[in-house]
Amino acid sequence: MTFRQFQHMPLAQRASMTMALLLAICTLSTPSFADSLMSGEDEEFLRVEDAYQVMVELTDNQVEMSWTLAPGYYLYQHQFKLEANNGSEIERQDLKFKTGKRKFDEYFNKELEVYYYNTFVSSNLPSMPPPYELKITSQGCADAGLCYPPRKQFFHIAANGEIKELGASEISTRTATPAKNLIEPTGSTSPKGLAFSPTEAPENTPFLPIILLFALTGGLILNLMPCVFPVLSLKALSFASSNQEGHQQHLHGWAYTIGVVGSFVAAAAVILSAREAGEMLGWGFQLQHPVFVALLAYLFLVMALGLYGMFSFGTQFMGAGQSLTAGTGIKASFFTGVLAAVVASPCTAPFMASALGAALTQPVSIALLIFATLGLGMALPFLALSYSPQLANFLPKPGAWMETLKQALAFPLLATSIWLLWVLGNQTGSDGTALVLAGGLLICFALWLLRFSPTRTASKAILSALIITSLLAAAHFTWKIRNFKANSEADTYAQWETFTYDGLEALRAQGRPVFINLTADWCITCKLNEQVAFSSQTFFNYAQEQDVVLMIGDWTNPNDDIAKLLKQYKRSGIPLYMMFPARKNAPPEILPQILTTGDVTEAIDRAFQ
CATH number of the domain encompassing residue 555: 3.40.30.10
Tell me 396's DSSP state. P
What's the rounded mean pLDDT across residues 552-564? Answer: 86
Could you tell me if residue 4 is inside a domain? no
Let me know whether 509 and 454 are in one domain.
no
Read off the pLDDT of each residue in 110-137 and give the average, rounded to a whole number. 88
CATH number at residue 175: 2.60.40.1250
Query: If you average pLDDT over residues 159-182, what whole number do you get?
Result: 60
Does the pLDDT value for residue 533 go beyond 50?
yes
User: Per-residue pLDDT for 437 more than 60?
Assistant: yes
Full-model pTM? 0.41
**What pLDDT, in 10s, does the model give residues 252-270?**
888 888 988 988 888 888 7
Is 129 contained in some domain? yes
Q: Are residues 172 and 240 in the same domain?
A: no
Quick one: 292 and 143 in the same domain?
Answer: no
Backbone angles phi, psi at 186, to 5 degrees: -65, 130
- CA 198 – CA 176 distance, rounded (Å): 12
Q: Which of 208 and 19 is assigned the larger pLDDT?
A: 208
Q: Which residue has the higher pLDDT, 513 or 331?
A: 513
Instruction: Report cis status (omega within 30 of 0) of the bond before 131.
Output: yes
Q: Are residues 380 and 300 in the same domain?
A: yes
Same structural domain for residues 513 and 600?
Answer: yes
Residues 69, 214 share a domain: no
pLDDT for res 494: 66
DSSP string, 150-172: PEEEEEEE-TTS-EEE--TTTS-
Strands 182-183 and 497-498: unpaired
Residue 146: φ, ψ to 5°: -95, 135
User: Whole-angstrom Cα distance, residue 121 to residue 534?
Assistant: 45
Residue 17 within any structural domain of the chain: no
Q: Which domain holds residue 449?
A: 205-483
The DSSP secondary-structure symbol of 538 reads: H
**Residue 502 and residue 366 share a domain:** no
pLDDT number for residue 354: 58
Instruction: Tell whether the torsion through CA atoms of 36, 38, 41 and 46 is positive or negative.
Output: negative
Whether residue 271 contacts residue 279, with contact meaning beta carbons closer than 8 Å, is answered with no
Handedness of CA 385, 388, 391, 395 (dihedral sign): positive
Q: Which of 290-294, 448-452, 546-550 has the highest mean pLDDT?
A: 546-550
Is the dihedral angle over the CA atoms 211, 216, 219, 220 positive or is it negative? Answer: negative
Range with the largest mean pLDDT of 8-17, 42-51, 484-493, 567-576: 567-576
Q: What is the DSSP letter of 147?
A: B
Burial class of residue 3 in the structure, from the number of CB atoms within 10 Å of its CB (0-12 exposed, 13-18 middle, 19+ buried): middle
Domain annotation covers residue 29:
no
Lowest mean pLDDT of 165-179, 348-362, 589-603, name the range.
Answer: 165-179
- Of the candidates 191, 217, 244, which is a domain's last residue? 191
Q: Which residue has the higher pLDDT, 310 or 153?
A: 153
**Domain boundary residue, one of 156, 191, 226:** 191
Most confident of 63-77, 109-123, 171-185: 63-77
Q: Examine the domain organization and report whether 209 and 237 are in the same domain.
A: yes
Q: Is residue 11 part of a domain?
A: no
- What per-residue confidence (pLDDT) applies to 184? 38
The average pLDDT across 56-81 equals 89
Distance CA 333, CA 495 (A): 50
133 and 86, same domain (yes or no): yes
Sheet holding 549-554, edge to edge: 497-498, 549-554, 514-519, 576-580, 589-590
Range among 191-205, 292-306, 567-581 rated most confident: 567-581
Digit-coded pLDDT (tens) for 19-63: 444 444 444 443 433 343 333 333 467 888 888 999 898 887 889
List of residues 6+ apart from 397 with CB closer than 8 A: 240
Q: Greater confidence, 430 or 421?
A: 421
The reply to whether 360 and 267 lie within a common domain is yes
pLDDT at 331: 78
pLDDT at 275: 60
Least confident of 222-226, 465-469, 549-553, 603-607: 222-226
Q: What percent of the chain has pLDDT over 90?
A: 10
More confident residue, 169 or 517: 517
Residue 579 has pLDDT above 90, yes or no: yes
Q: Other C-beta atoms within 10 Å of 112: how many?
A: 18
Q: For residue 10, tell me if it sits in a domain.
A: no
- In this prediction, residues 68-82 reach a mean pLDDT of 90
**Is the C-alpha dihedral spanning 339, 340, 342, 343 positive or negative?**
positive
Residue 38 within a domain: no
Tell me what the mean pLDDT of segment 380-390 comes to.
76
Question: In sequence order, what E strands does 10-125 have?
Answer: 52-58, 62-69, 73-76, 81-85, 90-92, 95-97, 101-105, 110-116, 118-124
CA dihedral 342→348→354→356, nearest 10 degrees, is: 20
The total number of structural domains in the chain stands at 3
Are 112 and 234 in a shared domain? Answer: no
Q: How does the average pLDDT of the chain come out, rounded?
A: 74
343 forms beta bridges with none
Query: What is the rounded average pLDDT of the residues 361-384?
Result: 82
E-only strand ranges, 457-533: 497-498, 514-519
Q: How confident is the model at residue 178 (pLDDT cuts 50, 70, 90)?
A: very low
- Mean pLDDT, residues 199-208 taken together: 44
Determine the average pLDDT of the residues in 418-447. Answer: 86
**Does 427 reside within a domain?**
yes
**Integer Cα distance of 530 and 595 in angstroms:** 9
Above 80 in pLDDT, residue 509? yes
